[in-house]
Amino acid sequence: MRRPSRIVGLGASAERLRTVADGVASAAMRGAGRAWLGLLAGLIGMACGGSISLVDGTYRDRRHDFTIAAPAGPGPAWERVSVDDAALAFRRGESGRRDSLSMLARCGRAVADAQLMARHLVIGLDERELLAAGPSLVAGRSGWTQSFETSRDGVTVLIKTVTLVAGDCTFDWVLVAAGPRQRAETAFEAWWGSFRLGSSHAEERR
């Protein structure tokens, strides 16, 4: 079985982000928000796959009890990679114009509402312009969606996130698009839209 590539995490500061993006080795990431900045750096290594299984085009995570389809088009095929703290991550495109999809799942911690949890994703991304933010429906539950623009090496990058809180679990999906925006957003919407919670979350619904 082919092993997913690994995107190395970044250090805490924006200055280190620029250093890593220039090809210097990075430190391990701390915190969900800055982990997504690693997608902007695009440094690739190798790592073994996680505990999530893929059957007939659908990923199943028994630990967090969810399923989600493998991402599809439009556009080139998505390559699965490994990102620090991410349950699933994918990329496509050439360096400098690369699109990335990521999903973070964590349970067993005290959590706030989806809007507040979504704000944590962009901590450390200081130079950003908010494009839109508001409630969204995720797996039949109330979630939060937000989108931003930032720039890297003169390239405008779209960052779009979706957050769901279910009981003591938080699920986040992140799109980082430096290539054609419309097709990346279409693929992202279809991907997180395929997410389904398992029966263990039924009593948590409200």
Instruction: Using alpha carbons, select from 162, 153, 158, 154 the residue that is nearest to residue 189.
Output: 162
| Amino acid, res. 17 | L
Asked if the bond preceding 74 is cis, omega within 30° of 0, the reply is yes
Burial class (CB in 10 A: 0-12, 13-18, 19+), 132: exposed
138: left (phi over 0), alpha (psi -120 to 50) or beta: beta
Asked if 113 and 142 count as a contact pair (C-beta separation under 8 A), the reply is no
* Dihedral angle, C-alpha 135, 138, 143, 146, nearest 10 °: -60
Instruction: Using alpha carbons, select from 106, 107, 79, 73 the residue that is nearest to residue 91.
Output: 79
pTM of the model: 0.76
Between the alpha carbon of residue 48 and those of residues 25, 56, 58, 105, the distances in Å are 20, 21, 19, 18
Q: List the pLDDT tens digit at each of the 206 positions of the chain.
A: 444 544 333 333 233 233 222 222 222 223 333 444 454 444 323 333 457 899 999 999 988 899 999 999 788 899 998 887 789 999 998 766 789 999 999 888 767 899 988 888 777 776 788 999 999 999 999 999 999 998 877 788 899 999 999 988 999 999 999 878 899 999 999 999 999 998 877 755 54
Question: Which CATH number does 52-200 carry?
Answer: 3.40.1000.10
Beta bridge partners of 106: 170
Burial class (CB in 10 A: 0-12, 13-18, 19+), 28: exposed
Question: For position 123, what pLDDT does the model report?
Answer: 77
